[in-house]
Amino acid sequence: MHDPAEGRVDLGGLFVPGVEGMELRVEVAGDAIVAATVVLRDSAVQLQGFAAPKREGIWGEVREEIGSGITQQGGIVDEVEGPLGWELRAQVPVQLPDGTGGFQVVRFIGVDGPRWFLRGVISGQGAVQPQAAGLLEQIFRDTVVVRGEGPMAPRDPIVLKLPNDAQMVPEGVQQEEGSRFAGGMGQLQRGPEITEVR
């Protein structure tokens, strides 16, 4: 049994492979970190783990829900068999910076494990040209999910934690008052986007 931490960034519920030149961002909902995004050149994959029932996978159901959600917003969804099994390739309506509407191409990938489910969302070039996404797919494949032993309802997000040596880089300067990453410094200069976790 390999140590999952070997060559991976320890986020508690997920161990994400470290790849040269990647940037790791975490996404916060309320007080909890619920997703990690690996940015690699002009592509990204967002990783999110969920609790799942013991006996059956939930990816089929989740795919349907994501698909109908996107269709309701006026997007387009194709279900295709990709390198990681069934996936959704979607064009999701987005508001462009100039205020007009456009579409963003994204790929939803998923894998059912024992009592957990890992969802990935690939965006950028790796979605527009799926054949360019090999490294992102490999990162997704090599991500280790640690569900923990505690009772969790199916679909509860597996909560992540920051690696012990992470430096938080606030996004931009519009930090809400009292944001726990702002440290009360008022106007923060936009720091470098790269968060080294080695």
- How many CB atoms lie under 10 A from the CB of residue 87? 22
Quick one: average pLDDT of 113-120? 96
Q: Does residue 185 carry a pLDDT above 80?
A: no
What is the spatial distance between Cα 136 and Cα 118, in angstroms, rounded to a whole number? 14
Backbone φ and ψ of 191, nearest 5°: -85, 180
Where do runs of H (alpha helix) occur along 133-173? 134-142
pLDDT for 54 = 87
Lowest mean pLDDT among 80-84, 85-89, 94-98: 94-98
Segment of 25-34, 81-90, 157-166 carrying the highest mean pLDDT? 81-90
Q: Does residue 129 carry a pLDDT above 60?
A: yes
pLDDT for 32 = 87
Question: At 69, is the pLDDT very low, low, confident or very high (cuts 50, 70, 90)?
Answer: very high
What is the spatial distance between Cα 107 and Cα 131, in angstroms, rounded to a whole number? 12
Domains defined for the chain, CATH in brackets: 8-145 (2.60.120), 167-198 (no CATH)
Instruction: Give the DSSP H or E segment for 61.
Output: helix 59-72
